[in-house]
Amino acid sequence: MKKEINITEVARKAGVSTATVSRVFNNSGPVKESTRKKIEKIIEETGYRPNILARELADKKTHLIGLIVHDMRGEGIPRSITGVSTVLEENGYNLLIACSNGNINSEIKHFEIFRSKRVEGILFATKEFKKEHRELIKSLPIPVVVMLQDTEKEQISYVTFDNYNFGKESAQKLIDLGHKQFAVVGGPMHSVNSEQRKKGVLDAVSENGIAISPLLIRHGDYSIEEGYIQTNKMLAAGTSFTALIAINDGMAIGAVNCLQDHGIRVPEEVSVLGLDDTVLAKASRLELSGVYYSYSELGKESARLLLKQIQADEFQFDKYIVPYTINLRESVAKRRHV
């Protein structure tokens, strides 16, 4: 195993001082052309690479950002990470990643490790934002930006999607198409994002003076299977509906499958819309309607917000809401037989 060579070694071989080598490497001062050449030759020959740690220790800048995520399955987070990575690279920062698997102890541990590693800021995505998180983050001497959660009331900087509003606007679109009987398949009730979307939907509905049966509000775990199961239960309930909104596209697919298995035509009899628009939407035969929001953009903005705070050397509360687009496709139609 070859060893890395250090600056002293290079200096010795070149018969100069370390300061001169440093000047050559960083172009940080005048060096006579001949000595520069000589040193460059040695660097070339030895394959010398400065030990950045030493430099970082000296000027107390690591150019390191820590990212803690709870899960990397699903297409959202990886795309966000790509966005983060892009912006960091443009700014000469590196990315330290930890995956907590939703375990709060693991999250806390990684905040600690990252702090010890002297990252200059932390990006944090968790399933559920708890009091412990708030306290931990408030006690940190470096800025933190929360991703995919609304931490407005904790006054911690965040970047997220406009869950409430696109939920509301989506429902309004269906209402505008004449729909009056709704069914909703929400996500897990402890998920803030899912609940916000659901609230948007329900608010739109009630603001239009439409009632919705509690039997037609169900919850699933985002999977295709659950979409199927919950839709099945709603059909069994016997209360009819002409529009179904699922909190994500996986469950929307399950819903379509279930409806079709019951001989119910989509969209002629029931329109289906997912509040989400991932690769899954494209896999289904029927072109599924959905709401698109860019995870990559979310990652980029999160990184930008964080770098801004690092550069400003202060943590002002800040936030960014990523825009969305509602894509109505095959699975949605005007209500018939009005």
Footprint on this chain of its own copies (rule: CB under 8 A): 1-4, 47, 49-54, 56-57, 62, 71-73, 75, 77-79, 81-82, 85-86, 89, 94-99, 106, 112-113, 115-118, 139, 141, 224, 250, 253, 257, 279-280, 282-285, 313-315
CB-based contacts of 57, cutoff 8 Å, min separation 6: none
Going by C-alpha positions, the residue among 217, 302, 293, 213 that lies closest to residue 249 is 293
Q: Does 8 interact with DNA (rule: CB under 7 A)? A: yes
Least distance from C-beta 90 to its own copies, angstroms? Answer: 11
Least distance from C-beta 75 to its own copies, angstroms? Answer: 7
CB-based contacts of 263, cutoff 8 Å, min separation 6: none
Q: Does 189 interact with DNA (rule: CB under 7 A)? A: no
Choose, by CB under 7 A, the member of 1, 58, 211, 338 that binds DNA.
58
Letter for the amino acid at 73?
R
Q: Does 30 interact with DNA (rule: CB under 7 A)? A: yes
What span, in angstroms and rounded, lies between the C-alpha atoms of 99 and 101?
6
Residue 262's binding partner, choosing from DNA, its own copies, none, with beta-carbon cut-off 5 to 8 A by kind?
A: none
Quote the Cα angle for 282-71-298, to 5°: 65
Residue 326's binding partner, choosing from DNA, its own copies, none, with beta-carbon cut-off 5 to 8 A by kind?
A: none
Structure tokens at 281: 């939407």
Least distance from C-beta 44 to its own copies, angstroms? Answer: 12
Residue 206's binding partner, choosing from its own copies, DNA, none, with beta-carbon cut-off 5 to 8 A by kind?
A: none
Q: Does 300 interact with DNA (rule: CB under 7 A)? A: no
146 DSSP 8-state letter: E
What span, in angstroms and rounded, lies between the C-alpha atoms of 170 and 41?
65
What span, in angstroms and rounded, lies between the C-alpha atoms of 254 and 265?
14
What span, in angstroms and rounded, lies between the C-alpha atoms of 181 and 89?
49
Least distance from C-beta 19 to DNA, angstroms? Answer: 3
Q: Are strands 289-293 and 324-327 parallel, antiparallel or unpaired?
A: antiparallel
Our measurement of the distance from residue 201's CA atom to the centroid of its chain's CA atoms, rounded to an integer in Å, reads 23
85 conformational bin, left if phi > 0, alpha if psi -120 to 50, beta if neither: alpha
Choose, by CB under 7 A, the member of 37, 41, 45, 51 that binds DNA.
51
Q: Does 59 interact with DNA (rule: CB under 7 A)? A: yes
Choose, by CB under 7 A, the member of 12, 40, 50, 215 that binds DNA.
50
Least distance from C-beta 92 to its own copies, angstroms? Answer: 9
Least distance from C-beta 64 to DNA, angstroms? Answer: 15
Give the count of beta carbons closer than 10 Å to the beta carbon of residue 1. Answer: 2
Give the interface with DNA as residue ranges (CB under 7 A). Answer: 6-8, 15-20, 22-23, 25-26, 28-36, 48, 50-51, 54-55, 57-60
